[in-house]
Amino acid sequence: MTDPRPPLAAIILAAGKGTRMKSDLHKVLHPIAGKPMLGHLTDAVAGLGAERTVIVAGAGREQVEGFAAPLGLSVAVQGEQLGTAHAVQQGEAALAGFAGDVLILYGDVPLVTPETMARMIERLNAPDGPAMVVLGFRPADTLRYGRIIAEGDRIVKMVEHKDATEAERAETLCNSGLMAARAADLWPLLARVGNDNAAGEYYLPDIVMLAAADGRASAVIEADADEVAGVNSRAELATVEAIWQRRTRARVMADGATLLAPETVWFAWDTRIGRDVTIGQNVVFGPGVTIADTVAIHAFCHIEGASVAAGAIIGPYARLRPGAEVGEEAHVGNFVELKKARLGKGAKANHLSYLGDADIGPGTNIGAGTITCNYDGFRKSLTQIGAGAFIGSNSALVAPVSIGAGAIVAAGSVVTRDVDADALAVARGVQEEKPGWAARFRERSKGTK
């Protein structure tokens, strides 16, 4: 069946200098939940099936181009900062021949959801056919924002704050700047925008009033103020991060996980949490984490680039680094660090261990203080431990090395050669005892104080 919806494109404005960020990194590339702000938007429009996405860049465009190129996205350049209408115009060449709907977004407004974008497009294509759709919101503080005067959802007037009358400033419905329009309407209207205003800029909202002058009304739909929060400073970046985290915690709990202190748990953009998972206080998830059902993660754990299978127990104070794989019902205890290590089903590493570049079989017990010596200064090497092995406390396994299934490594051993299955490996100095030596030593030492 043919999709009745018109094709979709997006223009993302990212030409601002971002001077208040005081950073060498382009403003829209600063991360929210481990993903660049710009990436949140490009993911959203890709999920809606956008055929083309154009990012309008200015200062620091090389960084934006570096982000866009691997994704196959276009970058248009706004050489002079002449206003939002002028910025959108720069995307026209990249959308030459495109005849569908166009979403206009802002690279520093990263939290707008695909659902809201879809509502904008749906309203644009409603039977009454508005000229365009504007996304409005009602902030607690309206002083900075342009106003939307509307009757129902029909826009009567849009005006920038600095150009508004006192009566217009009393309106609480504000303009987020996000819009949806048909390409056939957008470009002719933009060409008619002037700059006879207090700032001498070409304002994008003017196209709404130009369409109205032609007898075509536009519509407004509303979003929550948090969804259109913008980022112009480090403080605002932290505020938007907090909004994203709050949303995600609520979703994770709604999906069946328990957060013992929700405000202390931090997720990454791609964290996946199963049902009946319990997460303790002050747990941080970096990118690339998948947690299966019925996992318990105790307080003060840091997990990144890792997977944890059903029924496993992690922490407290555990660190799972990229490449860590924890099997079903395995235990990773306090002050244990895994890096590119696989812990088999039911295996346990409960205390004070480093396991890097290791393949550890099911049912194996790793004693306290065990380390896999995986790096010789030039290369990383693998430690393999078979099923049901027992590694005694304070052992060092010097890779590459293999410990057979069911083998026992005596505590305090430094293992440099392979150990056969079911063997006992003792690799430490022989204990020697000299009767009375300690008393004689103390007597001799009295005169030296």
- Residue 282, SS3? coil
Count CB atoms within 10 A of the CB of residue 402. Answer: 19
The Cα 6–Cα 182 span in angstroms is 9
The DSSP 8-state label assigned to residue 233 in this structure reads: S
The DSSP 8-state label assigned to residue 224 in this structure reads: -
**Are the beta carbons of 261 and 242 closer than 8 angstroms?**
no
Q: Mark whether 40 is an active-site residue.
A: no
Structure tokens at 244: 């994203």
* CA 188 from centre of chain: 38
The Cα 411–Cα 276 span in angstroms is 37
The Cα 49–Cα 53 span in angstroms is 10
Of 164, 175, 211, the residue nearest 192 (C-alpha): 211
> DSSP states of 91-160 as a string?
TTGGGTT--SEEEEEETT-TT--HHHHHHHHHHHTSTT--SEEEEEE--S--TTS-EEEEETTEEEEEE-
**Are the beta carbons of 15 and 109 closer than 8 angstroms?**
no
Mode of pairing for the β-strands spanning 337-343 and 319-320? parallel
Could you list the active site residues? Answer: 351
